[in-house]
C-alpha cells in the first residue's frame, strides 16, 4: 500500500489520502465507466493510469497552488494507490482520443446541482422562455499546438491560441454550452451555432463580435428574440426604404431636447431586416472617454469620420423585442447584465488561473494539450459553477447578501476537500461563505444587485 511509504514529515498528506474516496465518489456520480472506451482512452484492459485516476488527479492538481505534470502524476498515484511517473503520464496524454471533449459534454448534459434561483419571478424577462448570453475568451497555448489551434499571424512565427465559447442561461446561472475552437474561428463565424438550440420566446443577448444580419433573421424566424449593440456603418432605412443619415438624425433629436431615440427601421442594404433601433445619450464624461480611446487606436486601417465620433455620444442598440414588452431604458438595463459572462471569464483567469495551465511550457504534445484544456473546462463546469449556485442561494436566503464570484473562487481553492463532502455537510460552510465571500456594502450596485432588482 502506498500509504505505508508516506514519510512522517509528510503527515499532512495522510489526512488528504484518507479523503481520496471523496474524489472517487464524485467521479462515480458521472457514471463514466463506458466513457473511457467510447472516447478511445481505453482500448484494452486498464493500464497503470485509469480514467478515474487521470480525471481525479487532474481535479486535485487544478485546485492546488500551482499546476504541473509532476503534481498531476503524484495525485494520480495517490488516487490509484501506486507510484506514477511524470513520463508515464506524458505517454498516456500523447495517445489520440476524445476523452476530454466527451467528458465536458457529459458534465453539461447532467448538471449535478440545482440552478441558481434567488428571485421569485422573471421581472424584466417575464415575456421570455429563457435568456441566453454568450461570449468567448482566449488562452495562449504552447506553440506545438499551433496546428490544432492556430493563433494570430505575427512576425515571430506561429502562435497557438484557443478560443472558448461559453453560452449560459442568465436566469439560473447554468452553463448550457461550452466549445473549444482555434483563435481564428472567431465570434462572427460562430454566431449561427446558437440557432438550432433556440426555442420560441427565447432571448439572446450578445456583443458586436457576433454581429450577423443573417443570424438575426434566423433567430426572429424561430420566434425568438435578440438584443445587440449596433454596428457602425450598417445601412439604416425607414419603413419606406429611405436611407437614414443616423448622425444627423441624432443631432437633430439632441437639439430638440431628446436623449432617447426609439424607432422602427429596416437594417441592411440587402437584408432590409425590420428591427427596433434604440439610441440612448450617454453622460458627457463617458462620451469623452470613448472618443479618446477611438483616437488612440493604433490600427491604421481605421480612419474614422466625424459622424463616427458623433455617434460615440450615444449607446446604440437593435432588437426585435417590441415596445409594449420593453421601453428604451429596459433595453439598456437588460444589456448591462451581459457583463455576467465577462465576470466568469475574469474569475477563471485571475482567480482559478485557467490561462496558466501551460505557463512556461512551450513544448507540449498536441493531443495532451487539447485534453488538458477540455479537462479544465469540465472541472470548472462540474465544480465551481454548481458550488457557487448552491452557496449563493443559501447565503442570500439567510443574509440577503450576494456572494462575490471572485471571493468564492479563493474559498474553493482553500476548502476543496470540504466541498467534496456530501451536500448535507455543506450547510456548515454557509456561515463562512456568508462572512468571507459576500460583497461589501457600497453605494455602487454590484452585478447581482442589478440582476435581482431586474427580476423583482
pLDDT tens for 374-423 read 999 999 988 888 898 889 889 988 998 889 999 999 999 888 888 888 88
Of 70, 97, 124, the position where a domain reaches its end is: 97
Of 99-108, 226-235, 334-343, which one has max mean pLDDT?
A: 226-235
Domain that holds residue 389: 375-455
Which of 77, 97, 117 marks a domain boundary?
Answer: 97
* Inside any domain, residue 177: no
Q: What is the pLDDT of residue 111?
A: 60
Q: Are residues 34 and 83 in the same domain?
A: yes
> Which of residues 44, 74, 97 is at a domain's end?
97
Q: What is the mean pLDDT of residues 339-353?
A: 90
Kindly state whether residue 359 falls inside one of the protein's structural domains: no
The count of other CB atoms within 10 Å of the CB of residue 181 is 16
* Domain-embedded: residue 193: no
The pTM of the full predicted model, rounded to 2 decimals, is 0.87
How many structural domains is the chain composed of? 3
Specify the higher pLDDT residue, 311 or 295: 311
> Is the domain of 318 the same as that of 393?
no
Cβ neighbours for 409, distance < 8 A, ≥ 6 positions apart: 347, 351, 352, 384
Residues 231 and 329 in one domain: yes
Is residue 105 one of the residues assigned to a domain? no
| Same-domain status, 299 and 384 | no
User: Does residue 395 share a domain with residue 306?
Assistant: no
Whether residue 8 has pLDDT greater than 50: no
The whole-number average pLDDT for the span 134-141 is: 94
Amino acid at each position: 500500500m502506498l500509504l505505508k511509504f508516506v514519510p512522517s514529515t509528510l503527515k499532512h498528506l495522510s489526512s488528504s489520502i484518507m479523503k481520496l474516496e471523496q474524489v472517487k465518489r464524485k467521479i462515480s456520480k458521472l457514471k463514466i465507466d463506458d466513457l473511457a472506451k467510447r472516447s478511445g482512452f481505453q482500448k484494452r484492459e486498464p493500464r497503470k493510469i485509469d480514467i478515474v485516476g487521470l480525471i481525479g488527479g487532474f481535479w486535485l492538481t487544478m485546485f492546488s497552488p500551482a499546476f504541473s505534470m509532476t503534481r498531476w502524476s503524484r495525485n494520480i498515484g495517490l488516487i490509484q494507490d501506486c507510484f506514477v511517473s511524470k513520463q508515464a503520464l506524458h505517454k498516456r496524454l500523447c495517445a489520440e482520443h476524445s476523452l476530454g471533449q466527451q467528458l465536458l459534454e457529459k458534465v453539461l448534459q447532467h448538471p449535478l446541482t440545482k440552478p441558481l434561483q434567488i428571485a421569485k419571478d422573471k421581472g424584466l424577462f417575464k415575456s421570455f422562455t429563457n435568456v441566453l448570453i454568450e461570449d468567448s475568451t482566449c488562452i495562449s497555448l504552447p506553440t506545438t499546438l499551433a496546428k490544432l489551434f492556430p493563433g494570430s499571424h505575427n512576425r515571430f512565427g506561429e502562435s497557438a491560441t484557443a478560443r472558448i465559447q461559453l453560452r449560459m442561461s442568465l436566469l439560473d446561472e447554468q452553463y448550457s454550452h461550452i466549445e473549444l475552437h482555434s483563435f481564428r474561428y472567431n465570434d462572427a463565424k460562430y454566431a449561427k451555432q446558437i440557432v438550432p438550440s433556440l426555442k420560441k420566446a427565447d432571448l439572446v443577448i450578445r456583443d458586436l463580435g457576433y454581429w450577423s444580419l443573417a443570424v438575426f433573421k434566423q433567430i426572429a424566424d424561430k420566434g425568438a428574440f435578440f438584443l445587440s449593440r449596433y454596428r457602425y456603418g450598417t445601412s439604416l432605412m425607414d419603413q419606406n426604404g429611405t436611407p437614414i443619415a443616423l448622425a444627423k438624425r441624432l443631432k437633430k433629436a439632441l437639439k430638440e431636447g431628446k436623449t432617447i431615440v426609439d424607432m422602427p427601421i429596416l437594417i441592411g442594404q440587402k437584408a432590409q431586416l425590420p428591427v427596433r433601433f434604440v439610441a440612448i445619450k450617454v453622460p458627457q464624461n463617458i462620451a469623452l472617454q470613448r472618443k479618446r480611446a477611438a483616437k488612440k487606436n493604433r490600427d491604421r486601417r481605421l480612419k474614422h469620420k466625424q459622424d463616427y465620433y458623433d455617434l460615440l455620444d450615444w449607446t446604440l442598440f437593435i432588437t426585435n423585442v417590441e415596445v409594449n414588452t420593453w421601453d428604451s431604458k429596459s433595453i439598456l438595463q437588460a444589456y448591462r447584465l451581459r457583463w455576467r459572462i465577462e465576470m466568469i471569464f475574469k474569475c477563471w483567469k485571475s482567480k482559478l488561473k485557467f490561462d496558466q495551465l501551460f505557463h512556461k511550457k512551450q513544448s507540449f504534445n498536441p493531443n495532451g494539450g487539447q485534453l488538458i484544456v477540455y479537462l479544465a473546462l469540465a472541472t470548472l463546469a462540474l465544480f465551481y459553477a454548481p458550488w457557487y449556485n448552491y452557496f449563493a442561494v443559501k447565503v442570500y436566503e439567510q443574509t440577503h447578501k450576494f456572494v462575490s464570484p471572485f471571493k468564492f473562487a479563493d474559498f474553493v481553492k482553500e476548502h476543496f476537500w470540504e466541498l467534496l463532502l456530501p451536500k448535507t455537510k455543506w450547510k456548515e460552510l454557509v456561515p463562512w461563505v456568508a462572512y468571507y465571500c459576500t460583497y461589501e456594502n457600497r453605494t455602487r450596485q454590484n452585478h447581482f444587485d442589478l440582476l435581482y432588482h431586474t427580476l423583482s
